[in-house]
């Protein structure tokens, strides 16, 4: 697989989140460079960035490894999202554009339609798209980046079960969008907070032995620790 050098960080992060590069596995620069079809320089830069994000750890005189967050660290991710999602919704109510609102309303319509027909896989991607758009509508690059990183880490650490009543999820999404459309920041904040708390229980901690295997396993070099 050959990718542009500037996309190496995204590619490695994606492979970590999906489990292609399992938690605790060594990240050998030379082998990663061969995998992505780049030199070792962008790989080294990417690993530094991913270490600052918490996806990678480095060990003196040994090298870089995929991080192994504790259960407490994983629980903290959900708590942080429960705090930041409402802030994002409030900011979206104050700063959203008509384009953001159009996309959000379209996603709610699609989500409600898919929920009625029990199309669970579509709902997962639509839910991610909805929350990403809501974060972008906050018009705060720093907050949007934090929320994006949280979503990626939660996907890395948790299996998200399909809610027993997905229509309720999309009804709540619709109510949040209505508050955003009215510019009611406090209502949007309250609804987003209730939404985050209500559906926290669908997150099930992903154990390392449950990480999805790649169809093309990657030899990342060195023993697992």
Domain CATH number, residue 50: 1.10.10.10
Q: Are residues 90 and 58 in the same domain?
A: no
Side-chain-side CA neighbours of 20 within 13 Å: the count stands at 14
Binned at pLDDT 50, 70 and 90, residue 120 comes out as: low
Residue 11 lies in a domain: yes
Task: State the Cα–Cα distance between residues 179 and 157, nearest whole angstrom.
Answer: 31
Q: Are residues 14 and 81 in the same domain?
A: no
35: how many CB neighbours lie within 10 A of its CB?
23
Q: Are residues 96 and 198 in the same domain?
A: yes
Of 139, 134, 145, 141, the C-alpha closest to 179 is: 134
Region of 118 please: left (phi>0), alpha (psi -120 to 50) or beta: left
Residue % of the chain over a pLDDT of 90? 74
Which of helix, strand or coil describes residue 215?
Answer: coil
The mean-pLDDT minimum among 10-24, 64-78, 154-168 falls in 154-168
What is residue 205's DSSP assignment?
A: E
Give me the phi and psi of 26, to 5 degrees please.
-75, 145
Place of tokens 């429960």: 82
Q: Are residues 87 and 141 in the same domain?
A: yes
Place of tokens 């669970």: 120
- End-to-end C-alpha distance for the chain, whole angstroms: 27
pLDDT at 183 over 60: yes
Q: Are residues 154 and 93 in the same domain?
A: yes
Query: How far does Cα 81 stand from its chain's mean position?
Result: 11
Q: Are residues 197 and 89 in the same domain?
A: yes
Q: Are residues 35 and 89 in the same domain?
A: no
83: how many CB neighbours lie within 10 A of its CB?
12
- Residues spanned by the domain of 18: 5-68
Domain count of the chain?
2
Residue % of the chain over a pLDDT of 70? 90
Residue 221 lies in a domain: no
Residue 220 lies in a domain: no
Question: Residue 122 corresponds to which tokens in the numbers above?
Answer: 């579509």
Q: Are residues 57 and 101 in the same domain?
A: no
Place of tokens 């697989």: 1
Binned at pLDDT 50, 70 and 90, residue 121 comes out as: low
Tell me the pLDDT tens digit for each residue of 45-80: 999 999 999 999 999 888 999 999 999 999 999 999
Mean pLDDT across 147-165: 89
Last residue of a domain, one of 48, 68, 88: 68
Task: State the Cα–Cα distance between residues 88 and 188, nearest whole angstrom.
Answer: 9
Residue 222 lies in a domain: no
Q: Are residues 136 and 164 in the same domain?
A: yes
Last residue of a domain, one of 23, 38, 68: 68
pLDDT at 131 over 90: yes
Whether residue 78 contacts residue 85, with contact meaning beta carbons closer than 8 Å, is answered with no
Q: Are residues 98 and 46 in the same domain?
A: no
pTM reported for the whole predicted model: 0.81
Last residue of a domain, one of 46, 68, 90: 68
Q: Are residues 118 and 154 in the same domain?
A: yes
Of 137, 144, 132, the C-alpha closest to 185 is: 137
pLDDT at 1 over 70: no
pLDDT at 15 over 90: yes
């Amino acid at each position: 697989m050959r990718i542009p050098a500037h996309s190496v960080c995204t590619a490695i992060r994606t492979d970590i989140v999906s489990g292609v590069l399992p938690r605790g596995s060594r990240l050998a620069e030379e082998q990663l460079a061969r995998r992505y079809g780049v030199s070792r320089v962008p790989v080294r830069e990417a690993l530094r960035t991913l270490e600052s994000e918490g996806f990678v750890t480095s060990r003196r005189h040994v090298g870089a490894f995929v991080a192994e967050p504790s259960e407490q660290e994983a629980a903290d991710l959900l708590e942080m999202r429960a705090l930041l999602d409402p802030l994002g919704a409030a900011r979206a109510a104050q700063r959203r554009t008509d384009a953001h609102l159009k996309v959000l309303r379209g996603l709610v319509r699609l989500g409600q339609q898919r929920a009625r027909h029990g199309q669970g896989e579509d709902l997962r991607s639509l839910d991610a798209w909805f929350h990403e758009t809501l974060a972008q509508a906050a018009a705060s690059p720093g907050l949007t980046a934090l929320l994006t990183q949280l979503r990626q880490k939660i996907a890395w650490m948790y299996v998200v079960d399909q809610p027993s009543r997905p229509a309720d999820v999309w009804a709540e999404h619709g109510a949040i969008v209505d508050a955003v459309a009215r510019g009611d920041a406090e209502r949007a904040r309250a609804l987003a907070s209730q939404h985050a708390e209500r559906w926290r229980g669908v997150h099930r901690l992903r154990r390392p032995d449950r990480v999805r295997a790649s169809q093309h396993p990657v030899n990342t070099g060195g023993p697992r620790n």
